[in-house]
Structure 1
Amino acid sequence: MPVCPECGGELKFDRSRYMYVCRGCGLSLTRSEFERMSSSRRRAASKAEDEREQLRRDYLRWWLSDKK
């Protein structure tokens, strides 16, 4: 089930208007708008995950080094 980017509520597809409508806040999105927002959120989450992984590797490299 799609999730609203504004409030996290449930999005339902309104067949009469060909739009996703949030049951919580009433936000209406076309399919292309929804896909664009979803892909940008996924990219941001992926970037944050990559940064955490890089910090973990840097810390591990430091911990295993002789220069503690």
Structure 2
Amino acid sequence: MQPWTRTERNLFLKAYSLIQKDQVTNMSYCPECGGEMQYMIGTKHYVCKSCGLSVTQQELMELREKLRPNEETAEEERERKKKEYLKWYLSKKK
């Protein structure tokens, strides 16, 4: 293997420094398509490898919060059912 020329070496170092600036850290999944998310340090955005969704950390947390199922406690569920029954019962009295 021949040694690199000065131009080749400079190109390699430039490309390497660009890669270091845009280091990525993996995120678990995309809230839109389920693909792998990566954090781009240079742009401070999470980017999906599959669909291309690009969001900030705050936007990602908000999207995940919206997708999380609403978990009711047993008491909240009883109260909701009471209200639904009362609404149904009063609508029949008319």
**Residue pairs, 1:1-68, within 5 angstroms:** 1-42=27-68, 45-47=69-71
Over the residues paired in the alignment, what is the CA RMSD in angstroms?
1.9
Q: Name the count of aligned residue pairs.
A: 48
Q: CA deviation at 1:8?
A: 0.7
Q: CA deviation at 1:40?
A: 1.3
Moved beyond 6 Å, runs of 4+: none
Highest relative contact order (Cα 8 Å, sep 6+), 1 or 2? 1
Q: CA deviation at 1:2?
A: 2.5
Compare CA radii of gyration and give the structure with the larger one: 2
Q: Deviations over 1:12-32 (max 9, x none)?
A: 000000000000111100111
Match of 1:60 in 2: none
- Aligned equivalents of 1:35, 1:2: Cα separation in 2: 12
Q: Determine helix, strand or coil for the equivalent of 2:70.
A: helix
Taking structure 2 as the reference length, what is the TM-score of the superposition?
Answer: 0.45
- Between the aligned residues of both structures, percent identity stands at 40
- Unaligned regions of 5+ residues in structure 2, if any? 1-26, 78-94
